[in-house]
Amino acid sequence: MKKLIAEIKQCQICLPFLENGVNPVFAYSPKSKIIIIGQAPGIAVHNSGIPWHDKSGERLREWMGVSSDDFYNEKKIAIIPMGFCYPGKGKTGDNPPRKECAPLWHSRILEILKEVELTLLIGKYAQDYYLSSVKKRSLTETVRNFREYLPDYLPLPHPSPRNNIWMAKNQWFEKEVIPELQNRIQLAFK
């Protein structure tokens, strides 16, 4: 495991495409019970090196019903983004995660994680990758039909404050998905 962590931290594959340089941000342990597969670190996370250490992370912890201590306990939660480094700024927000990371690292990490009870697929990129042939036509439909992917996966929208309009339009999310998410996390932590 230490060898793989060192390999990921030293990865330079995307360096020519990253205006802010490489800084892979991830966390896992062979004992992890929950995996969070998100998009890619934002600039705040890139600068701090702490996964989900931003407003999106605050909302995600709230959705999950977990403390920061539990969230950052690798024996409880593994954090594996689709793109490990900040992809840079685009015209309307951050660029998409680099496509090199998931095929290069995910399977090698997942081989180590033998005690996983649930994987959270946050956002379209993670859902496209892991639910490719069974996802619905839109992220909203995929999340609405979350029960179809249980017990292995639970698809979620991105918790970014930029998604406040989505949250307002889809109030069923907080009534149906959040309680199921919190219940499954508590069961995994027992």
Instruction: Say which DSSP state 29 is in.
Output: -
Half-sphere CA count of 33, side-chain side, radius 13 A: 13
pLDDT at 180: 98
Structural domains for the chain: 2-189 (3.40.470.10)
Half-sphere CA count of 46, side-chain side, radius 13 A: 20
pLDDT tens by residue, 3-27: 999 999 999 999 999 999 999 999 9
pLDDT tens by residue, 88-129: 998 888 999 999 999 999 999 999 999 999 999 999 999 999
pLDDT at 1: 77
pLDDT at 165: 96
3 state SS of 122: strand
Closest CA to 13 of 80, 79, 126, 102: 102
pLDDT at 155 over 90: yes
pLDDT tens by residue, 46-66: 999 999 999 999 999 999 999
